Amino acid sequence: MVGEKKWVPYVLLIPWLVGFIVFKVYPFISAFVMSLYEKRGRISTFVGLKNFKLIMDTSTYLGEEFVNSLKVTFIYVFVTVPLILIVSLLVAYLLSLKMKGVGFFRTAFYMPTVLGANVAVIILWRYIFEYNGLINSGLKLLGISPISFLGTAGGAMMSVVLLRVWQFGSTMLIFLNALVNVPETLYEAATIDGAGKFKQFMKVTIPMITPIILFNGVMRLVEAFQVFNGPMLITNGGPEGSTNVLNKLIYDIAFKGGDLNVGSAMSWVLFVIIMVFTVLIFRSSKYWVHYQD
Amino acid sequence: MKKVVSVLLVLITVVVLSACGKKTADNEITFGWWGTSDRNVATYRAIELFEEKYPQYKVKGEQSTWNGYQQALNNKLNRGTEADVFQVNYNWIYSMYGKDYFMDITELGIDLSKYPTDEHKPLTVDGKVLGLSVSETGYIFYLNQKVYEDAGVSFEGDRIIPETWEELMVAGETIQAHNSSHYALGRLDAQQVAILMFSYLAQKTGKNVINENNQLNFTQAELVDGFNFISDLRSTGVLIPSNAIDTHIDGPTNPNWTQQKYGGILQWNTAISEYQNTLPSDANLVMAGMFQQASGESLGMYKKVSMAYAVSKRVEGSKEKQEAVKTFIEFMTTDPEAVAILGVDRGVSSNTDTQTALKAVSDADYSNSLEWKGHEVVQSMYNHQLEESINLYIHPYYEHNTFRAIYEGPIESFLLNNINATEAASRIISKFNAELKRIMED
């Protein structure tokens, strides 16, 4: 009887396992295999690393686009991730203070995350940043000339970054949980030692939550490298390719253009980049992450 | 318990794998298309009628929006799950390796004699006709007459609609003087400006944008002339001065269009209803053809097959299925009742029987529609050009997804005022031929 019960967890795992194999492992491996082939009509030919060389060759349009997308993706990631960490940590800190009505604010700040980057939200975002949108209507009332947010490279990038930063709810909640778990005794000791609120935050709070900063940082980094919805629906990668992030280019090449082989090669480059950065962050963590044990 | 696990695994595998592969009975036809709700409703009504007239057959419609249709079709072709009959763009015959995936429709025995002789030439690869032309199309100017009338635009006599570029620019200046936020045309995107510029250059040079050797046909100086012409249109109130001041990416729902600040659009004659449907009831959209260098000329009209019905190569495997598909396609394209239901939403067919059937419809004046009027202008201008030994048929790779960026990218930068005419022309020239060669060999 006891022996039979050992099977139960495995049976319960089957739905997840099947999903994981079918939708994760299989596409992951088959994408790599496809990246080594060239398909013309029904005929697939093994071409080794040709697709990888093709996307790295900046003398071609494809290579130029790929390098531009890499640049755009890096800008997006290295602006978005620090911003989202800073904003969510600061808001979490404010919400961790014992204030009246804090429950309302916790819910309010989490709402954008519930809404997500869905089509309705993105359309709303466009209405905010359009040339004759909400912000420019406000500026007009103040007598300020309108700004073409979506018509300039910097403005378009800013609008897609802000969309993601606006959805800081999950990151904030994780920070909030970490902040309330910092032992009160540490703050009491710091107060006795004469540390003010800012010093307590920098010398007590931050070091105590570094494992959570690491977790949030890695999660947001991986997620940011895979951004798609915002640049696709707000700017369609424009203007002039300034928000044409790598996932959008992969989508265009693989699905709109029908070249799954080159698209797969690009996906694998993206995977390697994410892996390298994740490993680097974990390697660096021994210098700045403090575990209580 | 091991048995339970094994059974579960087998069941899950069966469920997962049953989603793959697609085989329907020989008397069942699947039909895939993209379209808006009007087209969907009309198509389903035609399918119902088909099933009434031919009770031995069943048709399953697979409707889709334009967005995502091409991606989904690419995937389906890769997996062999495409519909038996499906709507395609003419250039997909080439970019999707149609000769590997689409059946030669002449093997079905469909009568092509009612179409103009060359209608199916662009759909023919290695002697195989890979799609049945549904309609042909060309870029046509459509103007909102109310915008012009409100500004008091007038030309010779009672004529309001301009005929030449010069008259269009005069109209732009007048409209701007009347209201500085109104334009003779308004905002055109890079794709529309590209065809406008290539039409203008074709009028001046008699050349198609891509020559028989698959190379760019215009020189640097000619392209610079084209870009300078676009600048002229912007400085005279025809086009907005910079696309950065209107960042809407969807033309028909652009508030400046729906609020009648923009006086016109350059659009495929088969797709004008999208723009017509979003205008208020007091608007009056009229077909203005292609503006000319001088009055009386009739040049600069590019055309192509708008869309075609392709048949899955899978159908080759069954005579019964071929018969079913042939019956269905002939019904959809020539049956008078079906033609009356489908109207001109997919454009105007060049099939003479279809046109006769459309003209005979009593409760809808199809021949007076904007699509039909546009169709007639496209055909007459194109044929006139052929008499002048000018062939402006659109190259099958002109609209290729990645190739388009070669000319649309610099045009977009130019429209945003980020580069000048010389730089835009240089950027087009630098990669045009090499990239066209690459995608054609791919």
Q: What is the pLDDT of residues B89-141, one digit of tens each?
A: 999 999 888 888 999 999 999 999 999 988 999 999 999 999 999 999 999 99
Are A10 and B70 in contact (CB < 8 Å)? no
Contact B244/A130, CB-based, under 8 Å? no
What would the mean pLDDT of A201-215 be, rounded to a whole number?
Answer: 94
Give Cα separations from A265 to A53, A148, B293 (angstroms). 10, 35, 49
Residues of A in contact with B255 (CB under 8 A): 132
Interatomic CA distance for residues B322 and B299, integer angstroms: 42
| Torsion from C-alpha of A62, A256, B428, B436, nearest 10 degrees | 80
B242/A151 Cβ within 8 A: yes
Give the tens place of pLDDT for each residue, B297-337: 999 999 999 999 999 999 998 999 999 999 999 999 999 99
* Amino acid at residue number B363: D
Contacts of A239 in chain B (CB under 8 A): 244, 247, 412, 416
CB-nearest to B12 from A18, A255, A256 is: A18
pLDDT value, residue B20 = 46
Residues of B in contact with A23 (CB under 8 A): none
CA pair distance A227, A212, nearest whole angstrom: 22
Higher pLDDT, A67 or B161: A67
Among B283, B297, B287, CA closest to B265? B287
Nearest chain B residue to A256 by CA: give it.
B71
Q: How far is A41 from chain B (nearest CA, A)?
A: 5
φ, ψ dihedrals at B427, nearest 5°: -65, -35
Average pLDDT over residues B291-296: 94
Mutation target to probe the B interface, by most B beta carbons within 10 A, among A42, A58, A59 is A42
Mark yes or no for CB contact B100/A42 under 8 Å.
yes
Measured between alpha carbons, how far is A34 from A254 in angstroms, rounded to an integer?
Answer: 11
* Average pLDDT rounded to a whole number, residues B269-293: 93
Residues B135, B123: Cα–Cα separation, whole Å: 12
Contact list in A for residue B434 (CB cut-off 8 A) is: 60
Give me B19's structure tokens.
């989603």
CA distance B230 to B228: 5
CB distance B82 to B71 below 8 Å:
no
CA distances from B99 to A117, B86, B129 (A): 40, 15, 9
Q: What average pLDDT score do residues B56-64 get?
A: 95
CA B357/CA B334 separation, integer angstroms = 8
pLDDT band for A255, please (50, 70, 90 cuts): confident
ipTM surpassing 0.90, yes or no?
no
Average pLDDT over residues B384-397: 94
Contact across the interface for A149 and B95, Cβ inside 8 Å: no
What's the full length of chain B, in residues?
A: 442
Kindly list the residues from chain B whose CB atom is less than 8 angstroms away from the CB atom of residue A14: 5, 8-9, 12
Size of chain A in residues = 293
Q: Report the gap between the CA of A276 and the closest CA in chain B (Å).
A: 30
Taking residues A217-242, what's their average pLDDT?
92
* Separation in Å, CA of B74 to nearest CA in chain A: 6
Which residues, listed in sequence order, are joined to residue A38 by a DSSP beta bridge? A45
Q: Which pLDDT does position B18 carry in this prediction?
A: 47
Cβ proximity of B142 and B272 under 8 Å: yes
pLDDT in tens, A22-55: 999 999 999 999 999 998 888 889 999 999 999 9
**Alpha-carbon distance B240 to B74, whole Å?**
37
Contact B137, B268 (CB under 8 A): yes
Residue B17: predicted pLDDT: 46
**How far from chain centre, in Å, is Cα B245?**
27
Alpha carbons A238 and A187: distance in angstroms, whole number: 49
DSSP-assigned letter for residue B282: T
Q: What is the pLDDT of residue A117?
A: 66
**In B310-368, alpha helices (H):** 319-334, 336-342, 352-359
Closest by Cβ to A240, choosing from B412, B435, B438: B412
Given a contact cutoff of 8 angstroms between Cβ atoms, the answer to whether B389 and B176 are in contact is no
Q: CA angle at residue A248 from A245 to A249, to 5 degrees?
A: 85
Compute CA A129 distance to the chain's CA centroid, rounded to the nearest angstrom.
Answer: 21
Give the per-residue pLDDT at B238.
Answer: 98
Cβ separation of A22 and B16 shorter than 8 Å?
yes
Q: What Cα–Cα distance (Å) separates residue B325 from each residue in B21, B55, B135?
A: 20, 14, 19
Which residue in B has a C-alpha nearest to residue A7's C-alpha?
B1
- Residue B140 near residue B272 (C-beta atoms within 8 A): yes
CB pairs under 8 A between A and B: 96
Least Cα separation, residue B228 to chain A (angstroms): 20
**pLDDT, tens only, B173-212:** 999 999 999 999 999 999 999 999 999 999 999 999 999 9
Using the predicted structure, report yes or no on whether residue A213 has a pLDDT greater than 60: yes
Phi, psi of B351 (to 5 degrees): -65, 120
Backbone angles phi, psi at B58, to 5 degrees: -120, 140
- Choose from B16, B75, B247 for mutation: most chain A CBs within 10 A: B247
Q: How far apart are CA B131 and CA B104, in angstroms?
A: 7
Q: How far is CA B113 from CA B109, B116, B352, in A?
A: 11, 8, 9
**Taking CB atoms and an 8 Å cutoff, what residues of chain B touch A11?**
1, 4-5, 8
The closest of B330, B328, B326, B310 to B318, measured between CA atoms, is B326
Q: Which tokens belong to A254?
A: 């693989």
Judge: A252–B401 Cβ closer than 8 Å, yes or no: yes
Contacts of A25 in chain B (CB under 8 A): none
pTM of the model: 0.86
> Closest Cα of chain B to A277: distance in Å?
30
Pairing of strands B264-268, B132-144: antiparallel
**Mutate which: A62, A131, A136, vs B, most B CBs within 10 A:** A131
Q: Are A266 and A66 in contact (CB under 8 A)?
A: yes
Lowest mean pLDDT among A228-232, A270-274, B133-137, B247-251: B247-251
CA neighbor of B439 nearest in space, from B398, B410, B393: B398
User: What would the mean pLDDT of A55-66 be, rounded to a whole number?
Assistant: 91
From the CA of A75, how many Å to the nearest CA of chain B? 21
Nearest to A55 by CA among A263, A244, A232: A263
Helix (H/G/I), strand (E/B), else coil: B48: helix
- pLDDT band for B1, please (50, 70, 90 cuts): low
- Partner-chain residue, chosen from B8, B406, B442, that has the shortest CB–CB distance to A61: B406
Give the DSSP letter string of A147-192: --STTSHHHHHHHHHHHHHH--HHHHHHHHHHHHTS-HHHHHHHHH
| Residue B138, number of CB atoms within 10 A of its CB | 26
